[in-house]
Amino acid sequence: MITIKNVKKKFDNTEILKGISLNVEDGKVVAIIGPSGSGKTTFLRCINYLEDPDEGVISVGDSLITAGKAGKKDILELQRRTSFVFQNYNLFRNKTAIENVMLALTVVKKYPKKKAREIAEEMLDKVSLPRDRFEYYPSSLSGGQQQRIAIARALALNPEVMLLDEPTSALDPELVDGVLDVIRTVANEGITLIVVTHELSFAAEVADEVVFMDNGEIVEQGKANDVLRRPRELRTRNFLRSIRREYPKIS
Amino acid sequence: MKLFDVDFFIESFPKILAKLPVTLLISVAAFLFAVIIGFIVALVKIYKVPILQRLADIYISFIRGTPVLVQLYIICYGIPKVIYYEQVNYSRLTAVDVNLIPGVIYVLVAYSVNIGAYQAETIRSAIEAVGRGQMEAATSVGMTRTQTMVHVIIPQAFVIALPNFGNALISAVKDTSLVFVAGVIDILAQAKILGARVFNFLEVYIAAALVYWAICIVIEVLIKKTEEYIRRYERAIV
């Protein structure tokens, strides 16, 4: 269970998050949509404490953090329960595909190399990275392959929640579907996911719940079908209309 | 009178070459200490440690803004005086005999401090060049700052800094030709001594120049080889 209460964040004097609360039950998939600059990414980063919120409470499983009162250990604990998939993959460039997945297992979880390698192989199989690519460095791999590895790296830690920040936005169009397939597989395994995405049809299909954010607050949230097909709020409707105009094939 | 006394040149060359280890020892050791100093100063600047950050700025500015010869004089005359002052006024450091401290120690201190200031900037920019993204990725999988540094950032920053390290090492070899100030006999000091005996300086200085030149070429090649080996993970798409 993930509970987020009244999270606020300012950059300089600009209020990016104006008090966001969200509950996510275990095993659910939540898609966050909204215009750029609405604070979606910042919110996601706060859950992983890549950004420390100014106010609010974040709790994932048994770990609970109140903004401003968190010690280093609490933050590390939270980070070990959550994992993050970045828009531009952020793979470790000095490590091969499989080493990228193994690193946190050997360093953070202190698994022996052999066990770490077994888990890493299993994860890379799961994200359908061809076996002959396991020993390649990121610079020799395509964006789609790199993002698969990033997902495998996040999965390997067996997190309570996986946070994905526009995981397909940096990909060439022909690679998007493959990565979405991987995320779909992960979702079906019952891992809790929070995904910031512009892929509305994907959100409609995979997400249990859709959250529409605008201007630092949650405007509307509910069942994916309700929010995407029968939005109550004007702002949601306008946003959906603009996106559908821009990417007609997606909707 | 001869313009160039070949016999004298051939006779002095091995004697000058014999001091190569002194020059190498001083420059390599000072360079290694400098990398450690530079790394610490770089971290102070990257993590914006209060107070220390200011001191780091002053340190870098002072070293870059004053000649290395002046810094050598300050260290060579300053350290013995401080020790002596402590002994006379406070009876501290009495185990040290100022007259027995070899000149090479002063030289090492001076050059480590000097090169360290330059390396601090090299290392800082190399660490920052690795990029926030990978640092965040490491954070997101629960790695601590130290673990991230050791496994992800330093190996890559090292590669980025390598060409600069090579240049710095080559500069160090040449810049240490001032160590006669502290009574240390290196390549150039030896050349001066040999030349002074017969008042024939051109031959010995050319010999010294050739030794410096050769060792710098060797270092350049070594650095290049190291770089090729370390950069193997940056291969283009296969």
**Rounded Cα–Cα distance for residues B151 and B169 (Å):** 25
- Chain A positions with Cβ closer than 8 Å to B: 48, 50, 76, 79-80, 82-84, 86, 88, 90-96, 103-104, 107-108, 136-137, 139-140, 150, 153-154, 157
**Rounded Cα–Cα distance for residues B112 and B134 (Å):** 31
Q: What is the pLDDT of residue A147?
A: 94
Q: How confident is the model at residue A247 (pLDDT cuts 50, 70, 90)?
A: low
Closest to A61 in 3D by CA, of A45, A49, A44, A79: A79
How large a percentage of chain B has pLDDT more than 70? Answer: 97
How large a percentage of chain A has pLDDT more than 90? Answer: 68
Q: What is the pLDDT of residue B147?
A: 94
Closest-CA distance of chain B to residue A59, Å: 16
Contacts of B143 in chain A (CB under 8 A): 103-104, 107-108
Q: What is the mean pLDDT of residues A192-206?
A: 90
Q: What is the pLDDT of residue B236?
A: 44
Per-residue model confidence as pLDDT tens digits over B38-76: 999 999 999 899 999 999 999 999 999 999 999 999 999
Closest to A86 in 3D by CA, of A131, A29, A142, A149: A149
| ipTM summary value | 0.87
Contacts of A92 in chain B (CB under 8 A): 134, 137-138, 151-152
Per-residue model confidence as pLDDT tens digits over A139-166: 999 999 999 999 999 999 889 999 999 9
Q: How confident is the model at residue A245 (pLDDT cuts 50, 70, 90)?
A: confident
Q: What are the tokens at A115?
A: 């066990």
Contact A250, A201 (CB under 8 A): yes
Per-residue model confidence as pLDDT tens digits over B172-214: 999 999 999 888 999 999 999 999 998 889 999 999 999 999 9
Per-residue model confidence as pLDDT tens digits over A57-102: 999 988 889 988 888 888 988 988 999 999 999 999 999 999 999 9
Contacts of B230 in chain A (CB under 8 A): none
Place of tokens 């300053």: B78
Q: What is the pLDDT of residue A108?
A: 92
- B147 at A interface, C-beta within 8 A: yes
Element of type H or E holding B54: helix B52-65
Q: What is the pLDDT of residue B238?
A: 36
Q: What is the mean pLDDT of residues A107-121?
A: 94
Q: What are the tokens at B76?
A: 């060579």
Q: What is the pLDDT of residue B92?
A: 82
If asked whether residues B144 and B169 sit together in one domain, one would say yes
- In A, minimum Cα distance to B152 occurs at A92
Closest-CA distance of chain A to residue B160, Å: 12
**Rounded Cα–Cα distance for residues B42 and B36 (Å):** 10
- In A, minimum Cα distance to B157 occurs at A94
Q: What are the tokens at A236?
A: 């949601």
- B231 at A interface, C-beta within 8 A: no
Task: Find the helix packing angle between B103-130 and B68-90, rounded to 10°.
Answer: 120
If asked whether residues B59 and B1 sit together in one domain, one would say no
How large a percentage of chain B has pLDDT more than 90? Answer: 71
Per-residue model confidence as pLDDT tens digits over A28-58: 999 999 998 899 999 999 999 999 899 999 9
Q: What is the pLDDT of residue B29?
A: 96
**Rounded Cα–Cα distance for residues B61 and B55 (Å):** 10
Looking at A112-116, A123-127, B75-79, B233-237, which range is the least confident one?
A: B233-237
Q: What are the tokens at A220?
A: 């509307």
Closest to B178 in 3D by CA, of B99, B111, B101: B111
If asked whether residues B96 and B29 sit together in one domain, one would say yes
CATH number at residue B78: 1.10.3720.10
- B47 at A interface, C-beta within 8 A: no
- In A, minimum Cα distance to B155 occurs at A94
Sheet holding A29-33, edge to edge: A82-85, A161-165, A192-196, A29-33, A209-214, A217-223
**pLDDT of residue B119 exceeding 90:** yes
Whether A94 and B140 lie within 8 Å, measured CB to CB: no
Q: What is the pLDDT of residue B235?
A: 54
If asked whether residues B82 and B145 sit together in one domain, one would say yes
Torsion angle of alpha carbons B48, B54, B59, B64, nearest 10°? 80
**pLDDT of residue A251 exceeding 50:** no
If asked whether residues B93 and B176 sit together in one domain, one would say yes
Q: What is the mean pLDDT of residues A97-118?
A: 95
Q: How confident is the model at residue A118 (pLDDT cuts 50, 70, 90)?
A: very high
- B140 at A interface, C-beta within 8 A: yes
Closest to A67 in 3D by CA, of A14, A25, A13, A20: A20
**pLDDT of residue B232 exceeding 80:** no
Q: What is the mean pLDDT of residues B211-222?
A: 94
Contact A214, A32 (CB under 8 A): no
Whether B152 and A108 lie within 8 Å, measured CB to CB: no
Picking from A90, A136, A140, the nearest residue to B137 by CB comes out as A90
Q: What is the pLDDT of residue B233?
A: 65
If asked whether residues B139 and B56 sit together in one domain, one would say yes
Element of type H or E holding B13: helix B6-17
**What is the overall mean pLDDT for chain B?**
91
Closest to A86 in 3D by CA, of A244, A229, A195, A236: A195
Whether A83 and B140 lie within 8 Å, measured CB to CB: yes
If asked whether residues B195 and B157 sit together in one domain, one would say no
Q: What is the pLDDT of residue B228?
A: 85
Q: Is residue B238 part of a domain?
A: no
Per the structure, the complete domain to which residue B8 belongs is given by 1-19+185-232
Q: What is the pLDDT of residue B131?
A: 85
Domain A2-246, what fold?
Rossmann fold (3.40.50)
Residue A156 burial (CB count, 10 A): 25
If asked whether residues B1 and B98 sit together in one domain, one would say no
If asked whether residues B177 and B195 sit together in one domain, one would say no
If asked whether residues B76 and B109 sit together in one domain, one would say yes
If asked whether residues B93 and B160 sit together in one domain, one would say yes
Q: What is the mean pLDDT of residues A10-28?
A: 92
Contacts of B152 in chain A (CB under 8 A): 92, 94-95, 103
- B229 at A interface, C-beta within 8 A: no
Closest-CA distance of chain A to residue B94, Å: 45
Q: Is residue B237 part of a domain?
A: no
Q: What is the pLDDT of residue A248?
A: 59
SS (H, E, C) chain A: CEEEEEEEEEECCEEEEEEEEEEECCCCEEEEECCCCCCHHHHHHHHCCCCCCCEEEEEECCEEEECCCCCHHHHHHHHHHEEEECCCCCCCCCCCHHHHHHHHHHHCCCCCHHHHHHHHHHHHHHCCCCHHHCCCCHHHCCHHHHHHHHHHHHHHCCCCEEEEECCCCCCCHHHHHHHHHHHHHHHHCCCEEEEECCCHHHHHHHCCEEEEEECCEEEEEEEHHHHHHCCCCHHHHHHHHHHHHHCCCCC
**Rounded Cα–Cα distance for residues A245 and B13 (Å):** 81
Tally of domains within chain B: 2
**Phi–psi pair at A162, nearest 5 degrees:** -110, 130
Contacts of A84 in chain B (CB under 8 A): 136-137, 140
If asked whether residues B137 and B166 sit together in one domain, one would say yes
**What is the overall mean pLDDT for chain A?**
91
Q: What is the pLDDT of residue A199?
A: 86
What's the alpha-carbon Rg for chain A, to the nearest Å?
18
Contact B151, A102 (CB under 8 A): no
In 3-state terms, what secondary structure has residue B144? coil
Domain ranges across chain A: 2-246
Residue A121 makes CB contacts below 8 A (sequence gap 6+) with A98, A134
Contact B211, B22 (CB under 8 A): no
Whether B134 and A90 lie within 8 Å, measured CB to CB: yes
**Rounded Cα–Cα distance for residues A98 and A91 (Å):** 11
Closest-CA distance of chain B to residue A139, Å: 6
Handedness of CA B16, B22, B25, B31 (dihedral sign): negative
